[in-house]
């Protein structure tokens, strides 16, 4: 039987890879038929908990949401973000990733960084834990305003070097966040594993967005965010109709009563 990770890798240069985040069973179930990868992202920190950064997200939060998401995933590859300060050294990373894999039954984990964490990535892969890489903007460690990556020669060379290191270490794909489009194209042609872009142009092998942004549930001003449907408006309409029927004593009618 071909593994889900092998299927993802085989899509490179053949068909675009579709990725979305999910934080609950209901959302995961709704998008599963239309995605190749579902990421339980630490973006839930800002999206659900109104944290100022992903640094406040805990391992327990990720595990709880991932257990819920797992119940709604049958088709897609399920990846879980390892939160800030949970993979500072190989032994800690291995312990926490094993815990996440065992409890959530996810297919892989995602961690941010290149050269600085290469020993950690090698340790995880050596112990049969599939890893998705993440380069470009690194939300867990970036301080101040987010700025696109790859504009200077130094930055471009560092990102290219990190991509090669991650591929050699054995990651099955790399998320490129807000990487300049020409650099994203160069990297996608340079490495043999898929690149998943977010704000990094359609030169990547696939794309990922936060589901709440896609559904119009957030007011994100990030350049790469596109609202594909206005669910917030539908929720408001539903609440308004409910309010009207309750106040007019129309709901619940006999049909909705025991």
When pLDDT is averaged across residues 226-245 and rounded to a whole number, the result is: 97
Q: What is the CATH number of domain 4-227?
A: 3.20.20.60
One of 167, 177, 243, 245 is an active-site residue; which one? 177
When pLDDT is averaged across residues 202-212 and rounded to a whole number, the result is: 98
Which tens digits make up the pLDDT trace of 149-197?
999 999 999 999 999 999 999 999 999 999 999 999 999 999 999 999 9
pLDDT score recorded for residue 60: 98
Which tens digits make up the pLDDT trace of 107-144?
999 999 999 999 999 999 999 999 999 999 999 998 87
Q: Is 112 tagged catalytic?
A: no
Name the pLDDT band for 1 (thresholds 50, 70, 90). Answer: low
Which tens digits make up the pLDDT trace of 21-76?
999 999 999 999 999 999 999 999 999 999 999 999 999 999 999 999 999 999 99
Instruction: In the chain, list all ranges with CATH 3.20.20.60.
Output: 4-227
pLDDT at 77 exceeding the cut of 90 = yes
pLDDT at 199 exceeding the cut of 90 = yes
Cα gap 141→149, rounded to integer Å: 14
pLDDT at 215 exceeding the cut of 90 = yes
pLDDT score recorded for residue 147: 87
pLDDT score recorded for residue 221: 87
């Amino acid at each position: 039987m071909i593994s889900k990770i092998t299927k993802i890798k085989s899509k490179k240069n053949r068909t675009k890879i579709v990725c979305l985040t999910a934080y609950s069973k209901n959302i995961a179930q709704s998008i599963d038929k239309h995605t190749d990868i579902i990421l339980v992202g630490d973006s839930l920190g800002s999206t659900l908990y109104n944290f100022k950064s992903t640094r406040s997200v805990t391992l327990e939060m990720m595990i709880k949401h991932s257990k819920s998401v797992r119940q709604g995933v049958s088709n897609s590859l399920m990846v879980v973000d390892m939160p800030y300060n949970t993979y500072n050294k190989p032994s800690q990373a291995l312990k926490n990733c094993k815990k996440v894999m065992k409890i959530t039954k996810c297919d892989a984990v995602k961690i941010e960084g290149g050269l600085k964490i290469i020993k950690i990535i090698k340790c995880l892969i050596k112990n049969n834990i599939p890893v998705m890489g993440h380069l470009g903007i690194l939300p867990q460690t970036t301080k101040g305003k987010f700025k696109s990556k790859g504009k200077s020669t130094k930055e471009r060379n560092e990102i290219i070097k990190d991509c090669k290191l991650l591929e050699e270490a054995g990651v099955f794909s790399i998320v490129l966040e807000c990487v300049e489009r020409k650099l994203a194209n160069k990297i996608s042609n340079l490495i043999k594993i898929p690149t998943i872009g977010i704000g990094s142009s359609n030169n990547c092998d696939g794309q990922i967005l936060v589901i709440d942004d896609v559904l119009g549930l957030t007011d994100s001003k990030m350049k790469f965010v596109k609202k594909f449907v206005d669910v917030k408006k539908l929720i408001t309409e539903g609440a308004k109709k409910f309010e009207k029927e309750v106040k007019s004593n129309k709901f619940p009618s006999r049909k909705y009563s025991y």
